Structure 1
Amino acid sequence: MFRHIWIRLKFQNPDKRRPFYEEETRRSIIRKEEEQQWRKKKARRQSETVYDDHEADAGQNDGFTPTEGGPDPLICDVAYYARRVGLDMEEFKVQTEDGFLIDLWHIYDPAEYTPLPPGDRTPLGPSTIPTSPSSPPGPDPETKKKPKYPVLMIHGLLQSAGAYCTNDDASLAFYLCKSGYDVWLGNNRAGFNPQHTLLSYSDPRMWAWNIRQMGVLDLPALAARVLTATGAPKLGLVAHSQGTTQTLVALAKEQRPDLGERISVFCALAPAAYAGPLIGKMYFKFMRLISPAAFRVFFGIHAFIPLMMTMHSLLPGGLYGALGYRVFSFLFGWTDDRWDRGLRDRMFQFSPVYVSAESMRWWLGRECFAKQKCILQTKEEWREEDNQDKVEEEKRSSPDASPAEPESGAGEIDKSESHNHKASTAWYDHRVPPFALWVAGADLLVDGKRLLRRFASGREPHVRVVHQKVIDEYEHLDVIWAVDVVEQVGREVKEVLWATCEGREGWRIPVGCEEVGVWDGKSEGVVGGGKEKEGEGNGSGESEVEEVGRARVRPRSRFGGWFRG
């Protein structure tokens, strides 16, 4: 801060220190030009004069014509921001097995899709996974085009799925839609408008849920509705932060493992399975130290600090966005260094949302995630695994290690024993889908590298990692909001989704994936085969987690840990 002021006093621009200053400036100029063009277009319409469509739509050269424009009003409306980039959105209501009504947003190209009547987008009753069809639904009878492969996107903690739609064309949801995927944005229970078939807002039973219910009830309900609406045998799943947590919980072999058979690949952005050092902050320690009863006295038994949502409805968008950034930055240590600062206030229009006090206790309370630092193990269990890894690594790397020749068959028996123990203590079974992971290297909230080490150590024999990447300079939200998120994350997600798609001959090929091969079910390195502009790609600052070893250890922990439900 003081350095910032000193630079100002020297009549210099401190923003020039930002890593994407030039790109932010370029995008800001483009937005202003488009606003001016929109004003001219609107003025011509109001004067009822004939105008040149080509001139009015200058700058829109991607084949998608915006139907909204002008200065950003900073509103909480995904459909509006979709129309600003030439797309649109229709909202579905989905009913979970325990009666919650949750929102599912379908992003589409209005040039080739007609939204369903409102009556067809209402809840169909408790959504369950439909019987798997044997093949894709087939070409559209009118356009003769093949269908687009469905992708379901799940948001993070205290956010809505609108977080995927705040960066104009660089938004992951809009990027995947324009690339040729059928994009569906799933919202968890409560959201902006808590609804239930039987319970009212004031009923404590309306708020008696945590991450487990979000994983084993909300996620399958959303996936079921997407599969029913598209007729697809499987879908691709993209999740960020808490969305990865509920997915990792749902896919666990003692929770809802059958869901994995309907997911072609799970793309985890900033996977939240292990806690990062930020959990040791004083204000988080306070929540961890108080008893469950005291937690409920402080935060109630209904929604968690509902005043935040009240302020959302009262404050102007610009003020709310500015305050939201500062509050979240203070709590979680995030910065906007890698974001487009001109869009920062928009990013916080879609958070926070209503969540239960009980779900926040799951994250922060005594005996919960904040103490155990893992979603599916106790602290003692994963520390024991770490110790075993360390011992095994020392044995392998010791220069004096010269093990005696084992008796005939002894080596094979030891390997078989080790494999059986790993399979019995693994979180997942054979139904788990392939994983692809993008880890933020500077993430202090969660420790994604530890999850990569778990997979690399052989503790999850059924987990097949299609792709893994650590982006060293990225923070927790950069994997969805960074200026270069399309280059660092978006293109790879697009290619991984296509490489793992089954029955590809029945689906439309996404733009840029013409040369992406079919994943063989074993090896990594499926990305990078698509046609992209010269000079673009992964970018600098990434690492492929070379430090992740192949430790052969025997974990003693029993599945489930502190997580019982």
Structure 2
Amino acid sequence: MPIKKEKTGPSAWSTKYNWFQKYALIFISSFCSVLYSTILCTGAIAHNCYQAITGENKLKPPDIEVRGHGYVPRQAFEDMKTLKATDDLQYYVQALGLDLEQYDVTTSDGYILMLHHIIDPKETQEQRDLRKPVFLQHGLLSCSGTFIASGRNSLAYYFHEQGNDVWMGNNRSWFKARHSTMKGNLYNSELYWKWGMKELAYSDLPAMIETVMSMKPKHEKLTLFGHSQGGLQSFLMLSHPQFSFIHEKIDLFVPLAPAIYPGQLFYTRSFIEILVKFPKSAWTFVFGFCAMLRNLCLVRDYIAQTWLFGKLSYYMFKFLFGWSARNWGDDQFVWHILFIFNMSYVSVELMQYYLAKFAPGGFVEMLQPKETYFNGEHYSENTYKSNDSDMTFPFHSSWFKETCKVPILIFVGGDDYLVDGKRLISHMQHYEPEYIEGENLKHFEIPTYNHLDVCWAEDVIGTIGYAVSKEWERMEANRQED
């Protein structure tokens, strides 16, 4: 994939707005963002009420016995009666009898990231050193909590239980804006928020992987997991020859519903269609040039521990994306905990990659014609937009060539309409000659799973955890033979 080398860091930064323009835009965009969020929230509540009246909000039972490979979901936490709602992730890890270490990681452009490490306090350092490193990277607006907040049914808990050393990354800004050199109010800093997808792929991810491996001297490689955007930034990093020194430290890449290509949901949600049509000036006036919808992040800070936050979050997710909680289990308090670890800070520039038509080679630019999602042509070799070389992920040409041969194990949801997993798999099968189906490329489509179920489903251990463990066993057997 052709990638232009661009200047990054303080020497490449410059401000666009003077003092008056800056604060005028902050005031206008703050008002517009609150209005926009209020309209969405009102629509979500009205939509839920309508479904309640018509009976459409009754959840269908999950098909655990069909797809879960015999896994029986466990009670999420030992003492659910005294468990409280909090934004302290360590509290939930300790409720599992484990603990959470936190490390600051500084990127090449000065952003300070939060890296989380799950440990067993009863183990010695020597025992921990023997554990194989596993690194999990979250998706857009999420954080490390997405992999552990569902307790004993989470992937992070299962991988630790199986003897691995679990590390969880957080992209820049997380729930707190920090930088090694920029000072003052970073939330209103034009310079601080000058970042997008490339910075996450080429600065944040390598910095965190390097940090993990620096603390694992007895291991040469780790397994990389990436949910949604975490999968996207991982694909970008793996396709760039400049990061071959990182590629060599990864023995397996496991993308979970990676956000490479957009799905048909972009044709069925009016709020998405409206944003796609916004010119750049409208984006600036409505959302500003700093954090995207900062007001929602502030709401989380103040009411995350209340039942209202859990209810409103569910209504919003269901209204905006059509996601069902049918696979999340019966305990709605667990749903609440999962929602707490969403709405992290992201830049307006990053969100434009996904939703702005003017973003060159962006996510929405790779959307296929509506009819192709219903006749299967959106992932066929003869798919529309044959000349797509200017896209971030061109369908008809190789991204990797000989830059990377890390084995890939892809998981997509059968009911995931936000991203197009079939199109990604089709690309890998037809246009990546270095990847051979059944050898260094495998994929699984999980029935009834939506975009979040690959992390949140109550039986995710049976559907994803077991398959990954089986692949690890196969890899270990091959190593011993060699």
After TM superposition, the structure 1 = structure 2 runs for residues 156-555 of structure 1, keeping only pairs within 5 Å, are 156-200=139-183, 201=186, 202-231=188-217, 232-253=219-240, 256-280=243-267, 281-315=269-303, 316-342=305-331, 343-368=334-359, 369-373=362-366, 386=380, 388=382, 425-432=397-404, 433-457=406-430, 459-464=431-436, 465-500=440-475, 518=479
Query: Paired residue for 1:103?
Result: 114
Q: CA deviation at 1:386?
A: 4.9
Query: Paired residue for 1:417?
Result: none
Q: CA deviation at 1:468?
A: 1.1
- Describe the SS at the equivalent of 1:107: strand
- Describe the SS at the equivalent of 1:486: helix
Q: CA deviation at 1:519?
A: 10
One-letter amino acid matched to 2:344: V
Moved over 6 A (4+): 20-23
Structure number with bigger Rg: 1
One-letter amino acid matched to 2:401: D
- 2:62 maps to 1:19: yes
TM-score normalized by structure 1?
A: 0.65
The answer to whether the 8 Å contact 1:215/1:250 transfers is yes
TM-score normalized by structure 2?
A: 0.75
- Describe the SS at the equivalent of 2:191: helix
Deviations 1:412-449 (A, max 9, x none): xxxxxxxxxx9994101334211000111110100111
RMSD: 3.3
Deviations 1:506-551 (A, max 9, x none): xxxxxxxxxx655999xxxxxxxxxxxxxxxxxxxxxxxxxxxxxx
Q: CA deviation at 1:258?
A: 3.9
One-letter amino acid matched to 1:456: Q
One-letter amino acid matched to 1:285: E
Report sequence identity in percent.
30
> Which region of structure 1 is more displaced relative to structure 2, 208-217 or 310-319?
310-319
> Which has the higher relative contact order, 1 or 2, with Cα contacts under 8 A spaced 6 or more apart?
2
One-letter amino acid matched to 2:190: P
One-letter amino acid matched to 1:450: R
Cα distance between partner residues in 2 of 1:374 and 1:97:
33
- Describe the SS at the equivalent of 1:493: helix
Q: CA deviation at 1:78?
A: 2.0
The answer to whether the 8 Å contact 1:279/1:370 transfers is no
Change (3 A) 1:225 1:330: same
One-letter amino acid matched to 1:371: V
Cα distance between partner residues in 1 of 2:461 and 2:449:
13
How many residues get paired? 399
The answer to whether the 8 Å contact 2:136/2:226 transfers is yes
Q: CA deviation at 1:206?
A: 0.5
Deviations 1:199-233 (A, max 9, x none): 24122110011111101100000000000011231
One-letter amino acid matched to 2:97: G
Gaps of 5+ in 2: 1-48, 385-393
The answer to whether the 8 Å contact 1:269/1:439 transfers is yes
Cα distance between partner residues in 1 of 2:467 and 2:73:
23
The answer to whether the 8 Å contact 1:102/1:189 transfers is yes
- Describe the SS at the equivalent of 1:105: strand
The answer to whether the 8 Å contact 1:274/1:450 transfers is yes
